[in-house]
Amino acid sequence: MLNSKDYKLFDLISIPFKIVPAQTIATIFYMLLDSLVPAYQTLVIAFFINTATDIFNNRADFSEIYMPIGLIMAYLIVTHLFPSIMQIIETAGRNKLNVILKKEIVLKRARLEYKHIENNETWELVHRVCEDPVGFFMNGFNNVLSGINLLIGTISLLIIVMSSTFITGIVIMLVSIPLFYIAMKTGKENYTIGLEAQKIKRKYTYLADILSNRDYAEERSLFGYSPAISERYDKLYEKSYKIEKKIQIKSFINLKSGSIVALLIGIVIVGLLLPSLNKGELSIGLFISLVTAIFSLVQRMSWQLSYTMQQHARVKEYLKDFSEFSKLSEKENADDVPADVDNFMFHSLEFKSVSFKYPGAERNVLDKCSFKLLNGKNYAFVGENGAGKTTIIKLLVGMYDEYEGDILINDKNLRDYSFAELKGLISVVYQNFSKYALTVKDNIRLGNILKHDEEKINRIISDMNLVGMIRELEFGVDTYIGKVKKNSKDISEGQWQRLAISRLLYSSSKINILDEPTAALDPLEESRLYEMFRDINLNRFTIYITHRLGAAKISDEILVVSEGHIAEQGSHEQLMQYKDGIYQNMFESQKSWYEAESKVHNV
Ligand code: ADP
């Protein structure tokens, strides 16, 4: 249903029509009925007044009054009963629309190519679109209908006037044009100023989050930055408040001046109708009811039109964003579950002269990068921050495929593997690994959703030294962790890390990668965790990524990444032989981190 295309106002009606046809038809039907109410009201009141005057002047029988009274009663019933019924219908429609439309949007978001997630501009667009899509669609839908409603209401009244006195109808149309114009202009203006206020609001909401959210609590008290942030918050709040006040005052002035103009127009119209009444072109009943209807219509136009135009500008902006979002490229088969790779015999992974630059960037991040890794060994990629280590992994897992050169797994091109196969084959624990507010067990099980192996989970828990932590939890492995649920228990950063690594261990992947998930630990702790991981994971091909060499020493082979390619490769001992080599220099400068440890061991 969510196609890549330019979404237009018409889609605001056609999409709800596809999802909730009955409710959409009912709403449109009601809108049409409601738009004819002013004309109907005018005609039946005129009918009633004319009949009543005829009875009063003995030109008609009393029983003739029943008909206009009946029509007025019908009008009263419809205008009082229908809105409540419509509200019920609309709520049901909104709920269904919510479920279906939101699901489509969430799926689209999940299928987006990774480059859109890393690109700030597109990611902001995604945020804007996903914030409240259903609200926008409903709002847009109602706005289009209320515009049509206003138009039909006005035209039908004009037809009534014109059918009695054509010239007066034309004059009324001409005097109403400025009113339309003013309303449209102020509507757009208000929207533009409102955008500015929105931007500022977003900024101060973020500051408010820093001041109150518990994720910032430690640093808040450590650095004592609250007063400074608070001052900035106050300034922004004040600025946005001033803008909003300006909009409100402007709207108020527009409304009031609009009402005065409307009143004047009303008086002019009444003046214009008087000669027709005199000449007998208009009955007294029609004159009185027309005057009432015209006053209320012009009054309504003076505020509703401006509001409708303001909303219209908002909805149009949203549709532009929505169209752009719908056209963002998707990763093929992105939502496939990992393939079962139990029978896959991995033997080699090779990069052959791979060059890559990030979309929109000028410089190659990887530059003719070549290496070959074999099963049965552990490898470490080391190098300064920004050398390109993580980028190698991003290409390997298929996040980007606009690279030059070839990546081969078992001598078969990476591009010839399905995304599901790659997901099954490769597991990564990233530096910013995810913390799921689920149970301990589910945090591990997410590593392989195809299988449920209780025994394996227990083994991993024991290997990863998590038994002690779990013993302290009220419901053991079934305790919810994190900060989301009321009864859930938060655990330490190190414990989250162990859980993330457990997830990798639980997967059946053949290529396991630890991309500095331990960056938050000190160098010694990192080495210990990597050693523990190596001991548990002896038979699995593993790549460690680190800029700290203590952890690299445990690998069979080390690859030094520098300026986007492999500058040195070999065992620790071999690399230490290169006089003035990158590895040797790095090792010398980091040696002191590990010396304390060896002293402790030597005692
Ligand atoms: P490492 O893992 O060795 O620290 P990365 O592979 O993360 O290095 O980054 C290599 C280079 O690519 C850095 O200069 C970094 O700024 C740049 N880079 C990383 N991600 C992106 C991105 N999404 N868009 C543009 N440049 C990026």
pLDDT digits (tens, 9 = 90+) for 467-523: 998 998 888 889 888 766 566 677 888 888 889 989 998 988 899 998 887 766 777
DSSP symbol at 439: B
Is position 125 within any domain?
A: yes
Q: Is 350 in the pocket of ligand 1 (CB under 6 A)?
A: no
Task: State the distance from the centre of ligand 1 to the C-alpha of 356, rounded, in angstroms.
Answer: 11
Regarding the beta carbon of 118 and ligand 1, being less than 6 Å apart is answered yes
Residues 27 and 106 in one domain: yes
**Domain presence at residue 595:** no
- Check whether 590 has a pLDDT greater than 70: yes
* CA–centroid distance for 555 within its chain: 42
Instruction: Indicate whether residue 396 lines ligand 1 (CB < 6 A).
Output: no
What is the distance in A from the centroid of ligand 1 to the CA of 599?
Answer: 37
What is the rounded CA–CA span in Å between residue 421 and residue 508?
12
pLDDT tens for 518-569 read 766 777 777 777 777 777 776 678 998 887 777 777 788 999 999 999 999 9
- The rounded Å distance from CA 385 to ligand 1 centre is 9
The whole-number pLDDT of residue 484 equals: 62
- Are 386 and 268 in a shared domain? no
pLDDT band for position 24 (cuts 50, 70, 90): very high
**391 C-alpha to ligand 1 centroid (Å):** 6
Strand order in the sheet with 404-409: 366-374, 348-356, 404-409, 412-413
- In a shared domain, residues 254 and 361: no
Q: Which residue blocks in 410-522 are alpha helix, DSSP H?
A: 419-425, 440-445, 454-463, 467-472, 493-506
- What H or E segment, with its residue span, contains residue 363? none
My answer on whether 411 and 270 are in the same domain is no
Query: Which pLDDT value is given to residue 164?
Result: 76
| Residue of the CA atom closest to atom 27 of ligand 1 | 358
- Do the domain assignments include residue 444? no
Residues 421, 529 within the same domain: yes
583: DSSP letter: H
pLDDT score recorded for residue 508: 84
Rounded to the nearest angstrom, the distance between the alpha carbon of 386 and the centre of ligand 1 is: 5
- Ligand 1 pocket, 112 CB below 6 A? no
Supply the DSSP symbol for 356.
Answer: E
Dist. CA 112–CA 133, nearest whole Å: 17
pLDDT at 460 over 80: yes
Compute the distance between CA of residue 352 and CA of residue 54 in angstroms, rounded to an integer.
Answer: 99
When mean pLDDT is compared over 81-90, 205-214, 548-557, the highest value belongs to 81-90
Q: What is the domain range of residue 222?
A: 11-326
User: Which of 115, 355, 358 for mutating ligand 1's site (highest number of atoms within 8 Å of CB)?
Assistant: 358
- For residue 338, being part of any structural domain is answered with no
CA of 387 relative to ligand 1 center, distance in Å: 8
Report how far residue 251's alpha carbon sits from residue 593's, in angstroms, rounded to the nearest whole number.
Answer: 66
CA 478 centroid distance within chain: 31
Are 245 and 295 in the same domain? Answer: yes
**Together in a domain, 400 and 255:** no
CATH of the domain at 418: 3.40.50.300
Query: Is the Cβ atom of 361 under 6 angstroms away from ligand 1?
Result: yes
Q: How confident is the model at residue 603 (pLDDT cuts 50, 70, 90)?
A: very low
Q: With 90 as the cut, is the pLDDT of residue 247 above it?
A: no
- The band of 166, judged by pLDDT with boundaries at 50, 70 and 90, is confident
Examine the domain organization and report whether 291 and 252 are in the same domain.
yes
Q: Is 383 in the same domain as 421? A: yes
How many angstroms is it from 400 CA to the middle of ligand 1? 13
| 503 CA to centre of ligand 1 in angstroms | 25
Strand partners, 366: 356
Judged against a pLDDT cut of 60, whether residue 156 lies above it is answered with yes
Write the CATH number for 222: 1.20.1560.10
Does 446 fall in a domain? no
Average pLDDT for the chain = 84
Which helix (H) or strand (E) element contains residue 373? Answer: strand 366-374
Model confidence at 599: pLDDT above 70: no
At residue 385, does pLDDT exceed 70?
A: yes
Tokens of 229: 């942030």
The answer, yes or no, to whether residue 65 has pLDDT greater than 80, is yes
Q: Which of 164-168, 192-196, 300-304 has the highest mean pLDDT?
A: 164-168
pLDDT computed for residue 243 by the predictor: 82
Beta bridge partners of 561: 566
Question: Is 64 among the domain residues?
Answer: yes
Is the CB of residue 1 below 6 angstroms from any atom belonging to ligand 1? no
For the segment 346-377, what is each residue's pLDDT rounded down to a tens digit?
999 999 999 999 988 889 999 999 999 999 88
pLDDT attached to residue 601:
45
State whether 379 and 267 are in the same domain. no
**194 and 322 co-located in one domain:** yes
pLDDT for residue 602:
43
DSSP structure class, residue 112: B
Q: Is 546 in the pocket of ligand 1 (CB under 6 A)?
A: no
Q: What is the per-residue DSSP string for 504-545?
A: HHHS--SEEEEESTTTTS-HHHHHHHHHHHHHHTTTSEEEEE
- Residue 485, pLDDT score: 59
Considering the domain architecture, whether residues 70 and 193 belong to the same structural domain is answered as yes
In-domain check, residue 504: no
- Please tell me the total count of domains within the chain: 2
Indicate which residue's Cα is closest to atom 14 of ligand 1.
386
Amino acid found at 458? N
Q: Is the CB of 383 under 6 A from ligand 1?
A: yes
pLDDT for 291-346, tens place per residue? 887 777 777 776 777 778 778 888 888 899 999 999 999 887 777 778 888 888 99
366 CA from centroid of ligand 1 (Å): 10
248-264 average pLDDT score: 73
Name which residue leads in pLDDT, 7 or 249.
7
Residue nearest to atom 16 of ligand 1 (CA): 386
Work out the average pLDDT over 570-583: 88
pLDDT at site 600: 44
For atom 12 of ligand 1, which residue has the closest CA? 365
Ligand 1 pocket member 430 (CB < 6 A): no
The pTM of this model reads: 0.69
Q: Which pair of structure tokens corresponds to residue 104?
A: 């489509």
| Residue 564 near ligand 1, beta carbon < 6 Å | no
Q: Is residue 333 part of a domain?
A: no
